[in-house]
Structures are given as structure tokens and as C-alpha cells.
Chains A and B, each alone.
Chain A
């Protein structure tokens, strides 16, 4: 077992343990914080897969953006100062059976399939240049569409979440 394998198992353990805490913890704040470690672990796995740009993007967008958004959502919709931050679960047993079946099937398929593995080590250069070229040639249309989608989604989110001033909370129907 060389250093690469050791680092891989380390990150894989971080990802799986913290994702289990996200799923099984009854405290929402604990779940949000262990989601942070899941994202860090996934970024480490990206680094092991020679995807340095994606690792940085993962840290910037997931940890810096989406996680903060989720924590704000927790704080705006739960009574943080009280103890009322626990959450319940439902349908645990059928879900556990179903998910275990799906996980077993997936792992079995992944293990049994003879993948065509390209074992050559890519040259140790940055991926940013190639990705940038690709976004401005092959993927130009999806790239522009993604920017439009982001603008539409963010404006739409701001519109939906806006608090209307002269509105009775209980009576009005248009919201």
C-alpha cells in the first residue's frame, strides 16, 4: 500500500463517515457542519483524480456558497435559540431496505463489470488551460446557457424569497 492508496482511503473514509453523520444525525446544525467535511473529502478525491480546477471550484462553490446558503436556510426556518432544532425521520425501515438493495446492486455491478481502464498517467500539468479551451470551443453553447440559467435562477430566487411589505400574512392568497 503506497502513499497514494493511503491518501485515497483517508479521503474516502472522511467522505463516507461525514455523509453518514449528515444522513443520520438528528441535529440539523451537526448535519450542516459534517456536510462541510463531506465536501472537503470530495475535493480531496478530485485532487487525487488530477482534477485540480474542479477541486478548487468545489471548495469555492460548495463550501463557500451552497453550504452557507443551507446554513442560512436552517437559521431562518428553525428556532436556533431553543432546543427545537431536532428533526424527525419517517419510513426508516422500508427506506433502509430499498437503499441497501440499491447500494448492493450498484456495488456489484461496478465490481463485476470489466471496465476499460486507461492506466496511463496524464502529464502533470494544470487542467485549467484545457478546460478553458474546451468551454470556448466544444462547449460554447452549454457554457452560455449555463450563464443565462444562473442569472434567471438567481433573479427568480430573489423574486420568490422577497418579503412583500404591505401584506397581511394570514389572509392574502397570492404569494
Chain B
């Protein structure tokens, strides 16, 4: 079967599912961040695949660049927050940080 749009979409669907699984199951906050990066990458694959095959032309690639910019900003801020959480709780496990819960 010749490689076409569907192949790229299925790769990105699998990547999205793996990222979602990581976000849900991981305890360590940094690994949750890695799962979010996987999800953003899968979205980017979709944008670029539609830019090549779906007639989206260069708009798709421009959107992918914006996604990468926001991913960089998000990773920087999230890591700063995680460092602060570590300073306060001495742990970055998301299931132990429950001070707001009664």
C-alpha cells in the first residue's frame, strides 16, 4: 500500500494515544510534561500532513511553527513551577501534591 495521508494520520494517532497514556499514568511531573510534548508533536504531524496532502498548503506549516513556539514557552514555565514544587514539597510526584484537597 502506497504511503499516503492516512499513514501519517495513524502514526500521529498512535503517538497521541501514547502521550495521553503517559499523562494519565505517570506519577513524576516531568514525565507528565514529556507526555504533553508527545501530544503536541502528534498534533504537529497532523498539521504538516494536511499541509502536504490536504491542500492546506503552507498554512499548516505556519501553524506547526506556532505550536512549537508555544511548546517551548510551556516547557520553560512548567519546569519553573515544578522546581518550585520540588523546593516546597521535596517531591514532584503529582499524587502527593494535594494540599488543596481537604
Q: Which residues of A contact B (CB under 8 A)?
A: 4-5, 8-9, 12, 15-16, 19-20, 22-23, 28, 31-32, 35, 38-39, 42, 45-46, 49-51, 53-54, 57-58, 61-62, 65-66, 69-70, 72-74, 76-78, 87-92, 95-96, 98-100, 102-103, 106-107, 110-111, 115-119, 122, 127, 130-131, 134-135, 138-139, 142, 146, 149-150, 153-154, 156-158, 160-161, 169, 175
Contact = CB atoms under 8 A, between A and B. Distances in A.
26 contacts: A16-B18, A22-B22, A45-B8, A49-B48, A49-B51, A69-B79, A70-B37, A77-B83, A88-B27, A90-B95, A91-B24, A92-B25, A99-B17, A102-B20, A103-B13, A103-B17, A110-B6, A110-B9, A110-B13, A117-B5, A122-B52, A134-B62, A146-B69, A157-B79, A158-B80, A175-B88
Contacts of A153: 73-74, 76-77
Nearest to B49: A49
A101 to B, nearest CB: 10
**Interface size, B (range):** 35 or more
A161 B22 contact: no
A99 B24 contact: yes
Nearest to A55: B48
Given A16-B15, A102-B17, A61 B68 contact: yes
